[in-house]
Amino acid sequence: MKRAFDAFCSAIALVLLAPLLLLIGVVVAAGSRGGAFYHQERIGRHGVPFRLYKFRSMHVHREGAQVTLGTSDPRITSVGRVLRNYKLDELPQLWNVVKGDMSLVGPRPEVAKYAALYTDEMREVLKVRPGLTDPASIAGFDEGERLEATDDPEQHYQEVILPEKVAQQLAYVRSATFASDIRVIARTLFRIFKR
């Protein structure tokens, strides 16, 4: 039921949002070099890597930490700041949901570098499909700003934020229901529109 709901809702959303997606794609591509889309390998269900899609929000070939700081991160484009502020850069992941790589609600997928730090207990989050949103995403909506305020963002992410995030994801995985997923989607939309 969850998979059917995810695929149906994501396909409908892609159709309804097609004009907005096209507009964003044109603006991103015109605003800086590198094209409209960005893809990155993430770790999915059962630890299987997959390609996650986003609208590109950073300048190409800019080196820096693998974690992203707040919107003042110099790697972020001017258009990217707006997209990130309202989570619009995440919309192409609806295609990941249609393909079955992701779910609408589930633990946010990590890059291999951080997934490799998971303990056996933490790896329980890999038993389900990763999602566009989850309770940890809502709680960490301003994660970039938290990282920006630290002396060593990479270390702070690994030692503080990652364990906090995975603990919340584990709680979700162990108690998730269809009704709780609907509540998470509603809370996510409220959080975005509130901003």
Q: State residue 146's pLDDT score.
A: 83
pTM: 0.90
Q: Is 65 strand, coil or helix?
A: coil
Residue closest to 52 by CA, chosen among 141, 130, 135, 140: 130
* Cα atoms found within 13 Å of the Cα of residue 57, Cβ hemisphere only: 24
Q: State residue 69's pLDDT score.
A: 64
Q: CA-to-CA distance for 101 and 110, rounded, in angstroms?
A: 13
Residue closest to 126 by CA, chosen among 143, 98, 103, 146: 103
Q: State residue 89's pLDDT score.
A: 94
Q: Which residues of the chain have pLDDT under 50?
A: none
Phi and psi torsions of 71, nearest 5°: -65, -5
- 32-53 pLDDT, tens digit per residue, is 888 999 999 999 999 999 999 9
Query: How many residues can be counted in the chain?
Result: 195
Q: State residue 44's pLDDT score.
A: 97
